[in-house]
Amino acid sequence: MSGVWVFKNGVVRLVENPANESSSGARARKVLVHVPSNEVITSYAVLERKLSELGWERYYDDPELLQFHKRSTVHLISLPRDFNRLKPMHMYDIVVKNRNMFEVRDL
């Protein structure tokens, strides 16, 4: 993993592609893609359908989050209730826990 470490507002973070950041801090928009179908995930309904096909079950314990668990693993995917608040961090969590099934791409 390469990039530039940026210290801003008391937080240190790794910027993987500094060219995608403007001086105002805006980034290129990311989308989550289901690789086998090449389908962009546009809603939680679509995501939930794809995850359930992969053996993930929905948890209803926390009303503030959408959570999915796979019985054969210790993995838990926690997402904000509002799809518009889904960030690349959440997308990469899905990618890591579902190798070769999802990708994060620039829009």
CA distance 20 to 15: 9
The answer to whether residue 26 scores a pLDDT higher than 70 is no
CA distance 76 to 97: 9
The Cα-based distances of 87 to 36, 71, 80 in angstroms read: 22, 25, 9
Kindly state the average pLDDT of the residues 61-90.
Answer: 92
**More reliable by pLDDT, 53 or 23:** 53
In terms of C-beta density within 10 A (0-12 exposed, 13-18 middle, 19 or more buried), how is residue 31 classed? middle
Question: Measuring CA to CA, which residue among 29, 14, 39, 26 is closest to residue 103?
Answer: 39
pLDDT at 18: 56
